[in-house]
Structures are given as C-alpha cells and as structure tokens.
C-alpha cells in the first residue's frame, strides 16, 4: 500500500502540519532553484522570518558553504547576532500532484548527529553542553531563546527568562549552583551557562510572578545546602534578572531587559 492510500489525510493538507511540527528545518525548492516554502524550524535555525527566505533562490540565502560531509551532505555556516553555528543539509527530489519536480531540503544543527540527555533541559545536542556544569552552553541557549520567541509571536504563548549571576571566588561555585538549579526546575525549563559567572533559565508558559516564586525556591535551596554541608559549600552571592516576553520582543531585547533587571537577592 502506498503513502497516499495509507495516509490520505496527510496528502490533503496534513503534510504541512507535520513538516511544521518536526524539530528540523525544511525548505521546498522548485526546478529553477527558487524556494517556495520554509517551515518554522528553519526560521528558528536561521534566526530570520520565512518571508525573507521564500520567493528567492536558495543560492542567495545568508549561508556560507563548507566542505561537504563524508556522507555527501551539504554543510553551511550561519552567522547572526555575533554568533556562528554549523548546519547540515540533506536533500531529496520529490514530485507534486501536478508532476512538478521539487527539491526538499532538510537542515539540522551539526551537533544533533549525537544526542544526550540533561535532567533540566530534556534532550539536547551532544557538544552543546558546558563541560564544567553539565548544563547547556551559550549557543544552545541562544537557539532556544530564538525558538521560544518565534513560538510566542505565532501563538502568543507567555514565557520568561531568568538570568542568575553567581558571585563567588570558589572554583566549585558554578557547579554547586548548577546542581541547585537542576533540582528546582521543571522538565520543560531550559537551563544553561550564559557566561563565566551566569546561568540562564528559559521558562516556557511562565509569567513574572511565577519566576519570582522560583527565585525564592532557588534561594532556599542555597541556604539549605549551606546549612547541611558543614561549611564545605562555597558561599554564593546571587543576582537575579527577570524578563517576560512582550509583543515586539526579539531575543536581544529580552536579554537586554533581563540584564537591566539584575538585582541582589
């Protein structure tokens, strides 16, 4: 039994919903090399709106070609917002109902070839982990923020970010703070190391009041650990900055507000 017979709903329109929902970037290109359609996943990976990608040749996209992969895949570098990451592109030829030849391009971050697990962040790319704390690195966090911004723009879902700066000269401080954060976060929350002294929590479906309650839990966790560790736990001075998504926000504006809101606990 062929696909059309087994899945008639998908062939009548459900295919677009399927391609929108997968955690990969997808583009459809015609014989002339013009991109006809891109999904939300590709907008997130490239950090730009689909309107700026479709309707023009793929060759004009802001991608720098790299040496092809050993499996014949194409590889590209994407640069934006002062950051750079690599994408792997695989393609296949398909034919639409009118017999038109199309090219289906599928993009994924180079680091998703291997998958590992993080208790606070769910499934994450191998290589996107800060080795010292076991949390996501800054590149992975930046991708996650852009993804949440795109989702909120589309569905008006609330989400917040919590920037936590750790003030301590003890080399164990960041590892201790990471352990406490993992214990206090939900499975849906995304936790990572933003810089040498700061963690970032991306909190889907969370408003500012809920973040304030989370800060109280984190502070209580620090105090409880200090009181039961016989003085072995380094003293942690913490600063918190909260920002909740608003219409018109992009990832940069959101992080700018979080930094501006930093205050001592």
At 118-144, the pLDDT tens digits run 333 343 444 478 888 988 888 888 888
Helix or strand holding residue 256 (H, E)? helix 251-260
Which of 37-51, 94-108, 235-249 has the highest mean predicted lDDT (pLDDT)?
235-249
pLDDT beyond 90 at 257: yes
- β-strands 115-118, 101-109 pairing: unpaired
Helices (H), 106-250: 138-155, 173-184, 208-228
- Are the CB atoms for 219 and 183 separated by under 8 Å? no
Candidates 178, 198, 207; CA nearest to 262 is 198
Assign residue 179 a region: left if phi > 0, alpha if psi is -120 to 50, beta otherwise? alpha
201 alpha carbon, distance to own chain's centre: 12
Asked if domains 3-110 and 115-264 share a fold, the reply is: no
Percent of the chain clearing pLDDT 90 (strictly above):
20
- Return the CATH class of domain 3-110: alpha beta
User: What is the CATH topology of the domain spanning 115-264?
Assistant: Alpha-Beta Plaits (3.30.70)
Amino acid 112: pLDDT: 44
Q: What is the C-alpha to C-alpha distance for residues 123 and 205, in angstroms, rounded to an integer? A: 19
Cα 238 to Cα 87, 152, 207, 218, distances in angstroms: 36, 29, 21, 10
DSSP state of 68: P
Q: What is the C-alpha to C-alpha distance for residues 139 and 127, in angstroms, rounded to an integer? A: 10
Which of 3-7, 22-26, 69-73, 154-158 has the highest mean predicted lDDT (pLDDT)?
154-158
Domain segments of the chain: what residues? 3-110, 115-264
Tokens of 56: 């023009």
Picking from 57-61, 116-120, 216-220, 236-240, which range would have the lowest pLDDT averaged per residue? 116-120
Amino acid 122: pLDDT: 40
Amino acid 262: pLDDT: 92
Amino acid 4: pLDDT: 58
- Are the CB atoms for 39 and 53 separated by under 8 Å? no
pLDDT beyond 80 at 44: no
Judged by DSSP in three states, 102 sits in: strand
Higher pLDDT residue, 82 or 218?
Answer: 218
Mean pLDDT value across the chain: 79
Give mean pLDDT, residues 69-86.
Answer: 72
Strand partners, 83: 80
Picking from 4-13, 112-121, 225-234, 246-255, which range would have the lowest pLDDT averaged per residue? 112-121
Amino acid 243: pLDDT: 95
pLDDT in tens, 204-225: 889 888 999 999 999 988 888 7
Taking each helix axis from N to C terminus, what angle separates 138-155 and 251-260, rounded to the nearest 10 degrees? 110
Helices (H), 15-137: 15-21, 40-46
């Amino acid at each position: 039994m062929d696909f059309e017979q087994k899945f008639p709903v998908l062939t009548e329109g459900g295919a677009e919903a399927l391609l929108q929902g997968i955690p990969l970037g997808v583009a459809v290109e015609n014989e002339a090399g013009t991109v006809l359609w891109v999904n939300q996943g590709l907008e997130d990976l490239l950090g730009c709106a689909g309107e700026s990608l479709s309707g023009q040749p793929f060759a004009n996209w802001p991608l720098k070609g790299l040496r092809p992969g050993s499996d014949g895949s194409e590889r590209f570098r994407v640069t934006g917002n002062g950051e750079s990451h690599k994408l792997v592109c695989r393609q296949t030829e398909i034919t639409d109902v009118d017999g038109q030849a199309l090219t289906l391009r599928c993009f994924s971050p180079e680091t998703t070839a291997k998958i590992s697990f993080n208790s606070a962040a769910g499934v994450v790319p191998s290589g996107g982990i800060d080795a010292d704390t076991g949390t996501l690195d800054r590149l992975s966090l930046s991708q996650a923020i852009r993804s949440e911004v795109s989702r909120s723009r589309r569905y008006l879902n609330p989400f917040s970010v919590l920037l936590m700066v750790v003030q301590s000269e003890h080399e164990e401080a960041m590892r201790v703070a990471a352990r406490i954060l993992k214990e206090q976060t939900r499975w849906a929350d995304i936790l990572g190391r933003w810089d040498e002294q700061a963690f970032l929590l991306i909190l889907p479906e969370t408003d500012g009041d809920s973040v304030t309650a989370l800060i109280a839990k984190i502070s209580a966790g620090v105090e409880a650990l200090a009181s039961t560790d016989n003085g072995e736990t380094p003293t942690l001075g913490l600063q918190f900055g909260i920002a909740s998504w608003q219409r018109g926000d992009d990832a940069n504006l959101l992080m700018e507000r979080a930094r501006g809101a930093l205050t001592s606990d």
